[in-house]
Amino acid sequence: MRRALRSFSSWVLALTASAVIVAGLAVVHGQREYTQSLQERDRLVRVRSLATDITHLTLAARLGIEPSYDRLTHATLELGDLLGESDAGWLGAMPSPRRSALMELAKSRIEVVERFKRELAVVRNSQRYLTEALAGARLEARGGAGSAELASVHADVLENLVNFDVRRRDLILDRVRELRAHFDPSGRPLSASYLTHVAFVLEHGALVGELVDEICDPALALAIDSLRTAHEQRREAIVATLGRWQIGLVLVSTLLIATLVHASLALRRSAVEMTRINHGLEETVRRRSAELAQAQKLKSIGVLASGIAHEINTPSQYVGDNLAFLRSAVDDLGRILKSYDALRLAAEKGPIPSELLSEIRATEKELDLEYLVDGMPHACASAIEGMARISKIVRAMKEFSHPGSEDKKPTDIHRAIESTITVAQNEWKYVADLVTEFDEDLGMVPCLAAELNQVVLNIIVNAAQALAEMKAGQDENPKGRIVVRTVAEEGWALISISDDGPGIPAEVQSRVFDPFFTTKAVGAGTGQGLAIAHAVVVDKHGGTLEMESEAGHGTTFRIRLPNPGTRAAGPVPAVAGVSDGANAGHDR
Amino acid sequence: MTRLLFASIACAVLVFQAIADSAAGASSDSFVSACAEPDRSLAVRAIPGRHKFDPGLVALGRKLFHDPRLSRDGTIACASCHVLAQGGDDGRPTSIGVGGASGSVNAPSVLNRAFDFRYFWNGRAATLEDQVSGPLEHPKEMASNWEHVESLLARDSDYVARFESLGIPRSPESVRTAIATFERSLITPDAPFDRYLCGDEKALPHEARAGWERFRSLGCVSCHQGVNLGGNMYERFGVFVDPSANHSSEPGMLGRFDVTGRPEDRFVFKVPSLRNVELTAPYFHDGSAATLEEAVHTMGLYQLGRDLAEDDVALLVSFLRSLTGRLPE
């Protein structure tokens, strides 16, 4: 039930989170669209005002108010920039037929403006020329040369050309024809350039008018306006969508926050729970490891027990045999003593009957008195010796399994090792010779004797097992060798235990102190032995435990215990011959 | 008549209002104008006195502009045909490019080009940036390409450092920007005529002032107008005369027609700026006029439909000489 609830709430969390992301992205996208559309609007507004400017500036140029084309030119350039040359990519969001129609319009509008500029310039110049001629004609008219009427017709024509209006074109043409008719016969002809300029104004002046009309045509402005309306609608749609997404975002964010708060509360609760469980687990682990250590100890004692039984068995057997001998000897001696007693009584009464004597002789012979007398002290000695051996083992056992104390006590390390060796005798006796080389300078070392014994035992048993394995692989083999050595170092007591067994493969060396690590078959070892050794030496004694091994050359364990007795505990002395694997097994 | 006048006045009021509202001419941000109050009734305007472009970018553009290694064979720089100290052109009727190849049109000046509305005689380039590829890739000019230029820039440690310090990539884009910016910085202020426009009556000699009067009354100013006295419109060359008698009508020599293909665009060219015109002989798109006098006389015949008197030509020429400003160093 609770599990289902939890997975449900994590689903809710994931859902709301993705909803927030979706809404957030949509809002960001909408905002980008919105800003972009604002920029587009600004540009459209600018385009619109450029279209107006162009119309106004064209009119201004036409009327001669703005004699320079600079501003008109800049306006068309900017319009061209915005709409003409490029594909007006900024209008990308708008429907493409509308867009291209607008661009087409703008482009042709710009061309018309250019045409207008150049036509106006030349028309204006011809009008200038004619203005001069007009002034001359007026002068002439006033001066009275030729008919005044003719002069006034002349002036009228010119006036009309200077202030050219297309609508009067036909009228002007008539007048020009009239003028020509007058002038031709009477002599002074109109100059060629005069007629050229008249014709020019008539033709190009009309063109200018048409161009201005085209420029003032509202088509461009209307196209822009309609695009603006479409654009406005689009922006409104964008704003509406954006608004909806924003509301959605607020909603899902609130939901997300709520879910998060809920989840964090739940998390806190479960964190408290976890700590509690954790404490419980830690407690269990502690208890378990203590149990394990105890179990290991029990196990080793169990293993040892059979060996020890065997050890005790042999001496107790011949103690028994000798006692049995002594007992029958004592019986026999009793019989002989009885016959001696009868002999003494007979002797007190008188002469000893010879049959009594021969009877005694027969008994002596029968019981082999000589043998008895000779054998008994020997049997006694044997029995005593057997008892001594038994009691040694028992003492060693007692010493070995002396219940550990909580505090370190000054301990005779050598005795402790001896008893451990003795206890383990049955383990190594058949596979190895065990040699001890004790440094007599090593006094009493403060330690937890029972636990240290356990460590030494573990290591010796390991060595013996390794040697046994090696022997099992070979047909005949001399015994291996285990050397237990102590050295009094400055501030430290060193116990080194070497064997010349098969060694530990390099790839597992680094793991030998790990708990539960074992190379033995499953069930054969707990994998705790060396881990416990490490815990005892390093953790409980503040010492060091090193292992040095090379496959094929044996293994050496070095236990160093702080030994303030000798001197203050100095730095751990350098390990001699770490890389010199050949030395392992013959530590010196 | 009165109705027309009335309408005109009404229109004028309206238009003035609109103009007052509308923004001032473009590109004014990058320049500092020379005189405080320009006279709006004139078709011409004094040139700005200073520019405000990034000096680093201008310096890079200057280096590129003068670097012959940009061309295919390493012999021709932009500056080979646009000699800044000689008015920004090469003084030949037509230019000589890579391997002695000679082109078909006259090289215009690169000075004061910031104020032109389009580039090349036929206006085919919209901006100075667009224009750069033209000479660079033209087989008769520099006959180069952008790969060549980019590899040059990558090899030259000075270029590498300059681009780096400007924080721009060594791309064709940046090269175009740098060269165009440099060209925009090439302005020639302080011509006597500009000082005159700014109110210094004595700046213009008597003859030049008379020439200026002629320039206006004859109508030169209808075409040669604006800040650059040209460069803001197209115009037919030979309004009153058919030019094909004396000028080539080969493709490539027909001005706007080569761009648009419209019959009315034959011999229509960008009206050239007359600033520093005394330094940029020979004249016209084909370099056909060797002297200013010749050019002015031709203008009268072709553009105004007048056979200008020698006096007028002389006055006009002395006015044109007053258009020479302070050349960039």
**Could you say which residues from 13 to 42 on chain B have a Cβ atom under 8 Å away from some Cβ of chain A?**
14-16, 18-19, 22, 24-27, 40-42
Express each pLDDT in B51-99 by its tens digit.
Answer: 999 999 999 999 999 999 999 999 999 999 999 999 999 999 999 988 8
**Of the candidates B84, B79, B116, B74, the residue with the CA atom closest to the CA atom of residue B95:** B79
Contact call for residues A121 and A211 (beta carbons, < 8 A): no
Q: What is the pLDDT of residue B151?
A: 94
Residue B232 touches chain A, beta carbons under 8 Å: yes
Candidate from A215-219, A279-283, A395-399, B318-322 with smallest mean pLDDT: A395-399
Q: Is the dihedral of CA B112, B118, B123, B124 positive or negative?
A: positive
Give the DSSP per-residue string, A236-285: HHHHHHHHHHHHHHHHHHHHHHHHHHHHHHHHHHHHHHHHHHHHHHHHHH
Q: What is the pLDDT of residue A185?
A: 37
Q: Is B262 on the interface with A (CB under 8 A)?
A: no
pLDDT band at B159 (very low <50, low <70, confident <90, very high): very high
Would you state the pLDDT for residue B122? Answer: 95
Nearest CB among A71, A163, A196 relative to B305 is that of: A196
Angle, CA A563 vertex, CA A562 and CA A567 arms, to 5°: 120
Dist CA A293 CA A539 (whole Å): 14
Residues of B in contact with A49 (CB under 8 A): 22
Half-sphere exposure of B301 (CA within 13 A, CB side): 12
Tell me how far apart the alpha carbons of residues B258 and B267 are, in angstroms, rounded to a whole number. Answer: 9
pLDDT band at A521 (very low <50, low <70, confident <90, very high): low
In this prediction, residue A298 has a pLDDT band, given cuts at 50, 70 and 90, of low
Q: Do B40 and A66 touch (CB under 8 A)?
A: yes
Which chain B residue has the Cα nearest residue A59?
B15
Q: Pinpoint the alpha helices (H) of B191-309.
A: 192-197, 206-218, 220-223, 257-260, 292-299
Q: Tell me: the pLDDT tens digits for A439-477?
A: 888 888 888 888 888 888 888 888 888 888 777 766 666
- Residues of chain B contacting residue A79, judged by C-beta atoms under 8 Å apart: none
CB contact under 8 A, B19 and A71: yes
Distance CA A345, CA A347 (A): 5
3-class DSSP state of A21: helix
Q: Which residues of A touch B19 (CB under 8 A)?
A: 53, 56-57, 60, 66, 71
List all residues of chain B from 195 to 224 with a beta carbon under 8 Å from chain A.
217-219, 221-223
Roughly what angle, to the nearest 10 degrees, separates helices B146-155 and B157-166? 90
Give the whole-angstrom CA distance, residue A471 versus residue A479.
8
Give the residue among A108, A351, A358 at the shortest CA–CA distance from A219.
A108
Q: A121: distance to nearest CA of chain B, Å?
A: 5
- Count, in order, helices (H) and strands (E) of chain A: 15, 7
For the stretch A224-246, pLDDT in tens is: 888 888 888 888 999 999 999 99
Beta bridge partners of B269: B235
Given this model, what pLDDT does residue B1 score? 40
pLDDT for the residue A577? 36
The lowest-confidence range among A120-124, A141-145, B247-251 is A141-145
Domain A402-571 CATH superfamily:
Histidine kinase-like ATPase, C-terminal domain (3.30.565.10)
pLDDT at A477 (0 to 100)? 63
Identify the closest residue of chain A to B260 by CA–CA distance.
A111
Residue-level pLDDT at A576: 39
**Confidence class for position A364, pLDDT limits 50, 70, 90:** confident
The whole-number average pLDDT for the span B5-25 is 42
Render A512-562 in DSSP notation, one character per residue.
TTSTT---SPTTT--S-HHHHHHIIIIIIT--EEEEEEETTTEEEEEEEEE
Computed over its alpha carbons, how large is the radius of gyration of chain A? 65
Active site residue B278: no
For residue B141, the model assigns a pLDDT of: 92
CB contact under 8 A, A193 and B233: no
How far is C-alpha A162 from the chain's CA centre?
89
Lowest-confidence segment of A426-440, A555-569, B262-276 by average pLDDT = A555-569
Residue A9 has pLDDT above 90, yes or no: no
> What length is written for chain B?
329
Name every residue in A having a CB less than 8 A away from some CB of B: 49, 52-53, 56-57, 59-60, 63, 65-71, 73-75, 77-78, 80, 85, 114-115, 117-118, 120-122, 124-126, 128-129, 163, 165, 193, 196-197, 200
Q: What is the mean pLDDT of residues A296-319?
A: 74
HSE-CB at B155 with a 13 A cutoff on CA atoms is 8
What's residue B6's pLDDT? 44
C-alpha span between B141 and B77 (Å, rounded): 9
Q: Please name the residue of chain A whose CA is at the shortest distance from the CA of residue B241.
A: A196
Residue B75 · residue B256 · CB < 8 Å: no
Instruction: Break chain B into its structural domains and give their ranges.
Output: 2-49+188-321, 52-184
Query: What is the Cα–Cα distance from A531 to A536, expressed in whole angstroms?
Result: 9
Distance from CA of B181 to the nearest CA of A (A): 18
User: In this predicted structure, what is the pLDDT of residue A482?
Assistant: 92
In CATH, what is the architecture of B52-184? Orthogonal Bundle (1.10)
pLDDT at A5: 63
Q: Which of A74, A114, A128 sits opposite B219 (nearest CB)?
A: A128
Measuring CA to CA, how many Å separate A432 from each of A461, A480, A487, A547, A553? 11, 4, 22, 20, 15
Asked whether the predicted pLDDT for residue A365 surpasses 80, the reply is yes
C-beta atoms of B219 and A125 within 8 A: yes
Residue with the bigger pLDDT between A402 and A526: it is A402
Asked whether the beta carbons of A93 and A37 are under 8 A apart, the reply is yes
Q: Which residue has the higher pLDDT, A39 or B255?
A: B255
Amino acid sitting at position A392? K
Residue A492 CB-density burial (10 A; 0-12 exposed, 13-18 middle, 19+ buried): buried
Local structure of residue A473 (DSSP, 8 states): H
Helical segments of B76-205, H only: 78-81, 128-137, 146-155, 157-166, 172-185, 192-197
Q: A60 and B16 in contact by Cβ < 8 A?
A: yes
Domain segments of chain A as ranges: 15-217, 225-395, 402-571
pLDDT per position as a tens digit, A182-199: 554 344 556 777 888 888
Which is more confidently placed, B46 or A502?
A: B46
Over 80: is that where the pLDDT of B47 sits? yes
Residue holding tokens 């009206």? Answer: B271
Interchain pair A122, B303: CB under 8 A: yes
Higher pLDDT, A101 or B152: B152
Note whether B46 contacts A: Cβ–Cβ < 8 A.
no
Give residue-wise pLDDT tens across range A104-126. 899 999 999 999 999 999 999 99
Q: Which helix (H) or strand (E) holds B235?
A: strand B234-236
Judge: A124–B222 Cβ closer than 8 Å, yes or no. Answer: yes
Q: Do A193 and B26 touch (CB under 8 A)?
A: no
Mean pLDDT taken over chain A: 81
Answer whether B222's CB lies under 8 Å from A121's CB: yes
Contacts of B130 (CB under 8 A, 6+ apart): B119, B176
Which of these is catalytic: B129, B141, B183, B235?
B141
Q: What pLDDT is attached to residue A386?
A: 86
CB–CB contacts below 8 A, A to B: 119
A560: alpha, beta or left? (left if phi > 0; alpha if psi -120 to 50): beta
Joined together, the tokens standing for residue A345 give: 């009584």
The reply to whether residue B305 touches residue A66, judged by beta carbons under 8 angstroms, is no
Query: pLDDT by residue (tens digit) across B179-237?
Result: 999 999 999 999 999 999 998 989 999 999 999 999 999 999 999 999 999 999 999 99
Closest approach of chain B CAs to the CA of A142, in angstroms?
23
The closest CB to that of A68, out of B44, B219, B306, belongs to B44
One-letter identity of residue B189: P
Residue A579, pLDDT score: 37
Distance from CA of A278 to the nearest CA of B (A): 59
B15:A56 CB<8 A: yes
Q: Which residue has the higher pLDDT, A87 or B246?
A: B246
Cβ distance of A73 and B232 shorter than 8 Å: yes
A67 vs A56: CA distance, rounded Å: 13
Are B264 and A129 an interchain contact pair (Cβ–Cβ within 8 Å)?
Answer: no
Whole-angstrom distance, CA of residue B192 vs CA of residue B205? 9
For residue A86, what pLDDT band results from cuts at 50, 70 and 90?
A: low
Indicate yes or no: CB of A128 within 8 angstroms of CB of B234: no
Of the two residues A474 and A574, the one the predictor is more confident about is A474
Which is it for strands A480-489 and A432-437: parallel, antiparallel or unpaired?
A: parallel
Of A405 and A184, the one with more pLDDT: A405
Class of domain B2-49+188-321: mainly alpha
pLDDT at A288: 78
Confidence of residue B317 (pLDDT cuts 50, 70, 90): very high
Quote the pLDDT of residue A552.
Answer: 79
Say what the pLDDT of residue B14 is. Answer: 45
CA distance A115 to A120: 8
Q: Is the pLDDT of residue B8 over 90?
A: no
Q: What is the mean pLDDT of residues A148-158?
A: 72
What was the pLDDT predicted at A393? 82
State whether A56 and B44 contact (CB < 8 Å).
no
Instruction: Give the max Cα distance, chain A.
Output: 230
CA B313/CA B323 separation, integer angstroms? 16
| Closest CB from B11, B232, B240 relative to A70 | B232
Residues of A in contact with B307 (CB under 8 A): 193
Structure tokens at A29: 């996208």
A57-71, A322-336, A339-353, B149-163, range with greatest mean pLDDT: B149-163
Instruction: Report the distance separating Cα A71 and Cα B24, nearest Å.
Output: 7
Q: Would the pLDDT of A47 be above 60?
A: yes
- Nearest chain B Cα distance for residue A16, angstroms: 44
Average pLDDT over residues A64-82: 91
Angle at A198 between CA A192 and CA A201, to 5 degrees: 140
Mean pLDDT rounded to a whole number for chain B: 89
For B8, nearest residue in chain A (alpha carbons) = A63
Residue A484 backbone class (left: φ over 0; alpha: ψ -120 to 50; beta: rest): beta
Calculate what percentage of chain A has a pLDDT beyond 70. 82
Angstrom CA distances, B73 to B68, B76, B139, B150, stand at 8, 8, 12, 15
Provide the chain B residues 84-143 that lie in CB contact (below 8 A) with chain A.
117, 126
C-beta atoms surrounding B212 within 10 Å: 24
Region of poorest pLDDT, from A159-173, A540-554, B19-33: B19-33
Please give the model's pTM, rounded to 2 decimal places: 0.66
Residues of chain A neighbouring B255 (CB-CB closer than 8 A):
none
